[in-house]
Amino acid sequence: MPSAAPDDSTRTDTRAATHRSARPASPAGFAELEKATADLQPPFAVVDLGALRANAAQMVRRSGGKPIRLASKSLRCRALIGDVLRLPGFSGVLAFTLPEALWLAQDGALDGEGRLGGDTEGAAGADGRPDGGATGPAGRNAPASGRTAGPAREDEAREGAGGEDEGRAGRAERAAVGAADRAGPSILVGYPTADVPALRRLASDERAASRITLMVDSVEQLALITEAIGPSGPPVRICLDLDASLRLLGGRLHLGMRRSPLHAPEQAAELARAVEARPRLRLVGVMSYEGQIAGVGDNRPGPGLTRAAVRLFQQFSARELRARRAAAIRAVRAVAPLEFVNGGGTGSLEQTSAEHAVTELGAGSGIYAPVLFDHYRGFRPLPAAYFALSVVRRPAPRHITVLGGGWIASGAPGTDRLPLPVSPAGLRLLSAEGAGEVQTPLTGVAADGLRLGDRVWFRHAKAGELCERVDQLHLVEGDRIVDVVPTYRGEQHAFL
Ligand SMILES: Cc1ncc(COP(=O)(O)O)c(C=O)c1O
C-alpha cells in the first residue's frame, strides 16, 4: 500500500463493523483474558480452551458422523493436535509436509494430554446445545476415534469406502479408524513432495511407512518417488489428489484453485493403474479439496451482488463435484480397493459429509476460528486464538501505535488477510499502513483511553499461521492460564 495514500477507512470500517455485530468474541471475555495474562509481556498468543472445545464439538456435529482428519497446518501445535485427536469424531492427521509427517509419526508424538477432557461432552454448554454435538455415530454414543471401537477388519473397510451400502461403509470406516488409531494416528500428507531425503527416510522406516500416506497427482511424481525409495523395503502408501475446481467450456473457464491436473474420472483411474503397476507403491486413498466452497465464506461483507454470485457459484460447483467425485471414486475402486476418500474443509463439513462417496473430512481452521471463518451462513465458530501487542506511542489524538502487528495471512493479497484488532472495541488499522513489520498505528475512539503499556488484542485472519509468529501458546480457561504449550516454531520446526 502506498504510504502517501489517504486514510481510506471505508474498507477497514467494514471489518470493524463485522466485529461489532459479532457475538461476544470469547466465552472467557477480554476482562478474563486480561486477568489471566496480566503477568505476560506482549507479544504473546493465547488459545481459549472453552471456545476451542465448543468449536470442536460444532465441527463434529456438522460432519454428520464421518470422522474429521485434522489439518495440522491449521493448528501447528503438537500438543493441541494430540488433544483434539483424543476427541471422538476426530481421527488422523492431514499433514502439510513429509518431514512434518515423519516427526508426527514418532511414537508418542501425538498422544496429547487430555486437556480438552477426552470427549466433546464438556463443550455442550459452551456451544449452547444440549447434545454438545457429541451424539450420532461420531459422538460419544458411538465413538469414531477408535479408542473404544471394536476390532477392525481391513477388508471390510476397503469394501466400505465409497461402496453402495452406506451403513456398512460407515461401520467399516469407523472400524478402520479404530485400527489406525491404536497403531498411532494415520497421517496423510495433503500435498505432493519432492523431498528425496525425506522419501528415503520414509521408505526405510517400516512403522512410519505404515502410518504415512503420500499425495500424488501425476506419473512424474510417481517416478520421483519410486526412484527415491528404490526397489526394496516396505510398501509406500499413496493417495490421489482429484482436482475439485469447476471447469467449463472444455476447460477454457477455470473456477476454483489451480491444484491437481487430475480432473476427469478416467484420468484418476489411469493414475490409479500407474500406481498399482509399481510394486512398492500401494494405492489407499483419494482426496479432493473443494477450497472454492470450504474456504470461501458465503456471507462475506461487501456488495450483495458479489455475495449472491459466490453462493450461486458454490451451489453449482458443489453439484458438479458431487457427481464427478462419485464417478471418479467408482472408477478408481475398479482398479484398487480404497481405505478412505477425503474431502472438504471447515467451511463445507455438512455438504461434503453428505456425499456418499466421501468417507472422511479434512479440516482444522474451525478449531481456532480465525477471522476468515466469521463469514459463513451455516455456522459461527467462536474465536479461540488471539494475540496481544503493546501500546508504545501516540502519534496523534485518536491514534495509538502498537509494537509489531504485521502478522498477515497468506493468499491473494487483500484487506481480508490483515489481522483484526478486537479489543478494546473501536480500533481499526489505517489503510495507508496496514499492519506494520515493526509497528502498527491504530485509530478509533478507544485510542484516547489507552496508556503506554496497555494491550491491544488481535485475531489472525488465518488459523495456524499465527503459530509461526510465537514459540508458545498460553492456554486459558476462564481467567486462568492452565498450560503453556510450544508451537511447531517453539519446537524448532519451521516446515513451511
Ligand atoms: C487438502 C486440504 N484439505 C482440507 C483443507 C481445509 O482445512 P481447514 O479446515 O483447516 O481450512 C485444506 C486447506 O487448505 C486443504 O488444503
The ligand 1 atom nearest the CA atom of 74: 10
In a domain, 258, yes or no: yes
Taking the centre of ligand 1 as the mean of its atom positions, its distance from the CA of residue 294, in whole angstroms, is 8
In a domain, 242, yes or no: yes
In a domain, 426, yes or no: yes
In a domain, 120, yes or no: no
Per-residue confidence (pLDDT) for residue 254, from 0 to 100:
85
Taking the centre of ligand 1 as the mean of its atom positions, its distance from the CA of residue 429, in whole angstroms, is 28
On whether both 398 and 298 belong to a single domain, the answer is no
Per-residue confidence (pLDDT) for residue 197, from 0 to 100:
98
On whether both 191 and 288 belong to a single domain, the answer is yes
The ligand 1 atom nearest the CA atom of 295: 11
Q: What is the CATH number of the domain that holds 15?
A: 2.40.37.20
pTM of the model: 0.84
On whether both 211 and 100 belong to a single domain, the answer is yes
- Assess contact for 103 and 178: CB atoms under 8 A: no
Per-residue confidence (pLDDT) for residue 251, from 0 to 100:
76
Per-residue confidence (pLDDT) for residue 432, from 0 to 100:
95
The ligand 1 atom nearest the CA atom of 190: 1
Pairing of strands 246-248, 439-443: unpaired
On whether both 384 and 358 belong to a single domain, the answer is no
Q: Which residues form the domain of 472?
A: 9-49+380-490
pLDDT in tens, 237-247: 999 999 999 88
- Residue that is last in its domain, among 336, 368, 400: 368
What's 107-150 look like in SS3? CCCCCCCCCCCCCCCCHHHHHCCCCCCCCCCCCCCCCCCCCCCC
Give the chain's domain count.
2
Q: What is the CATH number of the domain that holds 163?
A: 3.20.20.10
On whether both 485 and 421 belong to a single domain, the answer is yes
Taking the centre of ligand 1 as the mean of its atom positions, its distance from the CA of residue 430, in whole angstroms, is 31
> What is the C-alpha separation between 119 and 102, in angstroms, rounded?
27
pLDDT along the chain (496 residues), means of 10: 32 32 51 95 97 97 98 98 97 98 96 79 34 31 30 33 42 44 83 98 97 98 98 96 89 84 97 98 98 91 92 93 97 98 97 98 98 95 97 98 98 96 96 97 97 98 98 96 98 96
On whether both 361 and 386 belong to a single domain, the answer is no
Question: Which residue's C-alpha cell is 478449531?
Answer: 367
Per-residue confidence (pLDDT) for residue 248, from 0 to 100:
83
On whether both 220 and 335 belong to a single domain, the answer is yes
On whether both 317 and 433 belong to a single domain, the answer is no
**CB of 346 closer than 6 angstroms to any ligand 1 atom:** yes
**CB of 364 closer than 6 angstroms to any ligand 1 atom:** yes
**CB of 244 closer than 6 angstroms to any ligand 1 atom:** no
- Residue that is last in its domain, among 316, 348, 368: 368
**CB of 289 closer than 6 angstroms to any ligand 1 atom:** yes
In a domain, 130, yes or no: no
pLDDT in tens, 120-140: 443 333 333 323 333 232 332
Per-residue confidence (pLDDT) for residue 250, from 0 to 100:
78
On whether both 218 and 297 belong to a single domain, the answer is yes
